[in-house]
Amino acid sequence: MEVKDIVDLKTIKTDLSAKNKEEALQELAEVLLKNEYISDVEVFLEDIYAREAVGQTGIGNYIAIPHGNSEAVNKIGVAIGITQEEIPWETLDGNGVKGIILFAVGKENDGAQTHLKLLSLFARKLGNDEVIEKMLQSKNASDVQEALCN
Amino acid sequence: MKIVGVAACTVGIAHTYIAQEKLENAGKKAGHEISVETQGTIGTESELTQEQIAEADIVIIAADVKIAGRERFEGKRIIQVTTEIAVKSPNKLIEKAVEVVNQKN
């Protein structure tokens, strides 16, 4: 397995219509539900907001990484959304965000070591400015996957 | 200069690894040897060796939680920050590390 296996084309939306954080999280959680990564949007988002309350998930460079451990998660994965316009978010550099990467991770992760490892490698990519720049210019899901996985 | 570090965030899924990547990139870019251990949901990875720790001029701990094995760094110069600082200003943090090491000499 490789990082590419974590970045599911079906959970990437390059045309996110959200105008704010709540809409973005709702939209991406619904994508995760539709693709069976999570079993319940409401329960999942409650856990995501619990992490939001602890500290900023906007890491600068127009990227936010909402995440958390939730019982509503069936399998580890990420939903990625890109917006045309900057949306307001609590961020380290004071700018808004255009790329939102929503992490879905369960509370119990027995037997999920491989996926957790891939997720950590994926997270590292987000610390790379060139990767992020390329990702934000993506026109479609394949572009996003390519930016993050090469 | 030789730098070792540890990154650990509250959930252990995202900031830990982003901080690792940013610190290692910033360190290398400034011409240093740097190695950052991660303590996350998956456990400890890129674990620092005794040799790496012994040779290090300084230790950068970027953590939001208590890290495991802090005693390994006893007697060494340590800079402790949150993962947010490492993610937000990795270059400044490396500069600060150099400053601290130079003060010592």
Using the predicted structure, report yes or no on whether residue A72 has a pLDDT greater than 90: yes
- Per-residue pLDDT, A4: 87
Cα(B83)–Cα(B87) distance, integer angstroms: 6
Question: Could you tell me if residue B72 is left (phi over 0), alpha (psi between -120 and 50 degrees) or otherwise beta?
Answer: alpha
Question: Looking at residues A60-68, what average pLDDT do you find?
Answer: 95
Q: What chain B residue is nearest to A113 in terms of C-alpha separation?
A: B42
Task: Report whether CATH 3.40.930.10 matches the domain A3-149.
Answer: yes
- Per-residue pLDDT, B64: 96
Using the predicted structure, report yes or no on whether residue B104 has a pLDDT greater than 70: no
Cα(A144)–Cα(B92) distance, integer angstroms: 30
Q: What percent of chain A has pLDDT over 70?
A: 100
Residue A111 CB neighbour total at 10 angstroms: 7
CATH entry, B2-104, from 3.40.50.2300, 3.40.30.10, 1.10.8.350, 2.60.120.620: 3.40.50.2300
pTM, whole model, 2 decimals? Answer: 0.94
- Per-residue pLDDT, B28: 98
- Per-residue pLDDT, A25: 98
Decide if the complex's ipTM is over 0.85: yes
Are A62 and A136 within 8 A, CB to CB? yes
Chain B residues close to A119, C-beta within 8 Å: 13
pLDDT digits (tens, 9 = 90+) for B57-90: 999 999 999 999 999 999 999 999 999 999 999 9
Please give the structure tokens belonging to residue B3.
Answer: 């730098």
Q: Over chain A, what is the mean pLDDT? A: 94
Q: By C-alpha distance, which of B42, B69, B60, B62 is closest to A114?
A: B42
Chain B residues close to A123, C-beta within 8 Å: 13-14, 16-18
- Of the partner residues B13, B19, B22, the one whose CB lies closest to the CB of residue A67: B13
- Of the partner residues B25, B38, B88, the one whose CB lies closest to the CB of residue A128: B25
Q: What percent of chain A has pLDDT over 90?
A: 87
Question: Could you tell me if residue B10 is left (phi over 0), alpha (psi between -120 and 50 degrees) or otherwise beta?
Answer: alpha
Q: What chain A residue is nearest to B13 in terms of C-alpha separation?
A: A120
- Of the partner residues B18, B20, B38, the one whose CB lies closest to the CB of residue A59: B18
Provide the pLDDT confidence category of residue A150 given band limits of 50, 70 and 90: confident
Look at residue B35 and give its three-state secondary structure.
strand
Within an 8 Å CB–CB cutoff, is residue A114 touching chain B?
no
Cα(A119)–Cα(A113) distance, integer angstroms: 10
**Domain ranges within chain A, ordered by starting residue:** 3-149
- Per-residue pLDDT, A144: 96
**CB contact (8 A) between residue B17 and residue A65:** no
Provide the pLDDT confidence category of residue A52 given band limits of 50, 70 and 90: very high
pLDDT digits (tens, 9 = 90+) for B17-38: 999 999 999 999 999 999 999 9
Choose between A10 and B105: higher pLDDT.
A10
**Tokens 């957790």, residue located:** A116
* Main-chain dihedrals φ then ψ at residue A115, nearest 5 degrees: -65, -40
* B9 assigned to active site: yes
Q: What chain B residue is nearest to A111 in terms of C-alpha separation?
A: B42
pLDDT digits (tens, 9 = 90+) for A101-113: 999 999 988 888 8
Chain A residues close to B42, C-beta within 8 Å: 113, 116-117, 120
List for chain B the helix, strand, coil content (%; round to 5). 45, 25, 30
Shortest CA gap B105–chain A (Å)? 32
